[in-house]
Chain A
Amino acid sequence: SQQGEEDPQALSIQEGENATMNCSYKTSINNLQWYRQNSGRGLVHLILIRSNEREKHSGRLRVTLDTSKKSSSLLITASRAADTASYFCATEATGANSKLTFGKGITLSVRP
């Protein structure tokens, strides 16, 4: 069954604006990860946050994790047209040994 559920399903913003994407999950996890997929391509890892962490930054990315609510958010600041892609959250359940369960994904469109 699907572990992560992202919202919104689709997001359209203007270049320069911030994009916030949310993910909820159901079971206990070792970590939560965000991936990007450009149309017709494989997935690229963006950022990982462990279950004992609450916030992490990487460049224009900021991810938060609330294990009590089983939710995470990904913030992309100062978005660019090149950020247009699908974004997936993925969870490694406790004891899953690298096996990830992916959410349905969010389609982000950044208008120039």
Chain B
Amino acid sequence: SAVISQKPSRDICQRGTSLTIQCQVDSQVTMMFWYRQQPGQSLTLIATANQGSEATYESGFVIDKFPISRPNLTFSTLTVSNMSPEDSSIYLCSADKGGQEKLFFGSGTQLSVL
């Protein structure tokens, strides 16, 4: 299994500012993913965080808005840049240990933008 620590757990931010969310896994993992979950809705994949290279973004998400880092096999960050109220959401990181075919999730970051 894998235990994922995600922080902050929640934040209230002002419009136009940026927030960086950190995700630390207790063991090396192959794939890491960032999802967004709007209130009462499903999860939408933002991007795949690739170790040592640029993240792979899904349609509708761009690097300038959601820059992602993955410096090693246990850590990743997602930045929500130039925030607007529409960015208010829960952001979740997840990881795949390779060969297990299932995802482990962090506890999420609840972001409110005023």
Contacts and interface: CB of A to CB of B under 8 A. Distances in A.
Interface of A: 2, 30-31, 33, 35, 40-45, 48, 88, 92, 97-105
A27 B104 CA distance: 24
A51 to B, nearest CB: 12
A38 B63 CA distance: 30
Nearest to B93: A42
B102 A45 contact: yes
Interface residues of B, number: 24
Interface of B: 4, 6, 30-31, 33, 35, 41-45, 48, 92, 94, 96, 101-108, 110
Contact of B105 (A44, A99, A103): A44
B102 A48 contact: yes
A98 B96 contact: yes
A72 to B, nearest CB: 15
B42 A88 contact: yes
Contact of A98 (B6, B41, B103, B110): B103
Contacts of A44: 105
Given A99-B33, A99-B48, A42 B105 contact: yes
